[in-house]
Amino acid sequence: MTYATLNFYPNKDPRMRFFALWYFTSLLALWTVLGDTVLGFEQSYAQPIIGVLTACVVAFALEALDAWVNQRSPRFSGSWKNAVNFLPPCIIPGLACAMLIYPNERLTPIIFAAALSLTSKVIFRAPIGNGQTQHIFNPSNLGITITLLLLPAAGLAPPYQFTENVTGLGHWAIPAVILITGTIIHAKFTGRLPLVLAWFGGFAAQALVRSLIFGTPLAVPFLPMTSAGFILFSLYMIPDPATTPIKPLRQIAFGLSVATIYALLFVQHIVFGLFIALALTSATRGLALHAFALWRRRFERGPQAVPDASMAAQAGPRAVTRAS
């Protein structure tokens, strides 16, 4: 859930962009603290700490290496503001991996997921024009997905942990606050509200279709939408401005694609469908960006120039023979 590439925010005011960035960071930090002390998160205090530390070490090391290779100043250098504003893209994946992965008492899966999340921003990139590239995977989502697939001993955090120690209206208040505030942020600052609405609509549509086809009670396929974890995934992982389209129609296609792939994975009894669906959609978009860039280069290059026969004739019979 990193928002490091601020160029993908429609709002040109840097203060507004940083506000959205720090909002996501503050929300995850607050939720982690409340989760470990009040809500009932089933993780040790060491896991979010080691997740953030790992992400920070990897991010600062990669940035320093890239700056050295390209002979430029690191983005975190120059002032204390640069250093502070470099932290949110590190804190967000570190906290997200620790919050959504359940590795029992082990720290290794959290370290692996956080390191992979930040490394993926450097490895998996696609051209977007004007000589610029964009990382194609939501870092947290890819780190969590690969960790769940490669480390069978690690699983997803149980959905009930987000409101385990809450009673009464608290079960509705917490998801409602996250939903309302997140929707406002995407509507006003990130420009990803069409994607969010398309994802919610697509998920509801596939739930209805599955209920009609398989004859399950209507409430069953809709049940995940009531989870605070689902809302967290929907508002702070899928609509990542740095890894999703800018144009509204493409955002809608992206959101519907994630919902469709999730439904196909679900009927095949494949677990971790939400995370895998987002990773597959992002991978498909990345391949499309590479294919489009290749086609554009060939189109701009045009057909190979044919030697001018008159010039070749002036150069002599041997030159004409070579030209033909």
Q: 157-207, pLDDT tens digit by residue?
A: 888 888 888 888 877 888 888 888 888 888 888 889 999 999 999 999 999
Least confident piece of the model among 60-64, 116-120, 129-133: 129-133
Q: What is the pLDDT of residues 73-106, one digit of tens each?
A: 999 998 998 899 899 989 999 999 999 999 988 9
Determine what percent of the chain is predicted with pLDDT higher than 90.
51
- Of 294 and 305, the one with more pLDDT: 294
Report the pLDDT value the prediction gives residue 254, as an integer from 0 to 100: 97
In terms of pLDDT, which residue wins out, 310 or 278? 278
The pLDDT of residue 308 is 46
Contact 165/112 with Cβ under 8 angstroms? no
Give pLDDT, residue 304.
53
CATH numeric code, 6-289: 1.10.3430
The predicted structure's pLDDT at residue 15: 59
pLDDT value at residue 189: 83
Distances (CA, A) of 207 to 204, 212, 279: 5, 9, 20
**Cα-Cα-Cα-Cα dihedral sign, residues 60, 62, 65, 67:** negative
pLDDT at 16 over 50: yes
11 CA to centre of own chain: 20
Are the C-beta atoms of 13 and 139 separated by less than 8 Å? no
pLDDT of residue 289: 92
Question: What's residue 119's pLDDT?
Answer: 95
Give the pLDDT mean for 104-119.
94
- Asked if residue 149 has pLDDT above 50, the reply is yes
Average pLDDT over residues 254-274: 95
When mean pLDDT is compared across 47-56, 164-173, 176-185, 274-283, the lowest value belongs to 164-173
| Single pTM value for the model | 0.85
Q: What is the mean pLDDT of the chain?
A: 85
Helix/strand/coil for 236 = helix
Cα separation, 111 vs 115, whole angstroms: 6
pLDDT for the residue 10: 53
Q: What is the mean pLDDT of residues 50-76?
A: 94
Listing DSSP states for 245-293 in one string gives -SSHHHHHHHHHHHHHHHHHHHHTT-SSHHHHHHHHHHHHHHHHHHHHH
Instruction: Return all residues near 28 (Cβ < 8 A) that are at least 6 apart.
Output: 1, 91, 92, 95, 96, 99, 236
96 in Cβ contact with 36 (< 8 Å): no
Question: Encoding tokens for residue 219?
Answer: 């409430």
